[in-house]
Amino acid sequence: MGFLDSILGKTKLPEAKTDRLFAIATAAVTLEANLGLKADGAAAVCIKPMESSKYEAARAEIEDLLKLGIKETGTQYSIQKDEYNYIWVVLKDPDFDDLVTSIQMVCQILMEQGFGTQLLAAVYRFRGEDVVYWIYNFKLGSYYPFAPRGSQRDTSQEFRLRSLMEKELPVEKDEAKWYPMWGMPL
């Protein structure tokens, strides 16, 4: 964005950064071996609301490709809207690598359709003594942990996870950008 664009109020939203998305695949091994957090077969992509005609075209293409992928991987999917009208592509598969690949495929389709600025987050659910989510923020190109405990966050658990995983994952350093995602359909 140039100087004149900023003065004239023309801003361009950042495209999604997907280059670090696959880091979770190898980190899952460490999460299970060292922390007892096992990927439980659920993941999702959160997408900002979009114009209905464009949404329907993107949804149709995502569904077509997911149907083909199901034949090979057995991944189950659903496309849902939450109470804030955000779109969720929810995936279920006991094979974590298939989930990561399916998340990447959904993101790639959306980016090719011109919706890279609509991608908000990819979410992976892990279970140990409690549920922990690893959230990938597409705008920042980094992960952060989210440890909900009822209606509260377990921030001490989140900080502990960060310190244990920052060598394995590109963890967001600014905790102020660790946005909780309450009410996920995951």
Q: Which residues in the chain come in under a pLDDT of 50?
A: 1-13
**What local confidence, expressed as pLDDT, does residue 109 receive?**
81
* DSSP line for 104-124: HHHHHHHHHTT-GGGEEEEEE
Tokens 């670090």 -> residue: 20
Of 122, 110, 132, which Cα lies nearest the Cα of 21? Answer: 122
**What local confidence, expressed as pLDDT, does residue 14 receive?**
52
Of 4, 55, 67, 44, which Cα lies nearest the Cα of 124? Answer: 44
Q: What structural domains and CATH numbers belong to the chain?
A: 13-168 (3.30.70.600)
**What local confidence, expressed as pLDDT, does residue 6 receive?**
42
**What local confidence, expressed as pLDDT, does residue 128 receive?**
92
pTM: 0.86
Residue 157, SS3 per DSSP? helix
**What local confidence, expressed as pLDDT, does residue 110 receive?**
82
**What local confidence, expressed as pLDDT, does residue 8 receive?**
44
What distance in Å separates the CA atoms of residue 9 and residue 104, rounded to the nearest whole number? 33
CB 97 within 8 A of CB 7: no
Reported as a single tens digit per residue, the pLDDT across 45-79 is 999 877 767 777 777 877 887 787 667 778 899 98
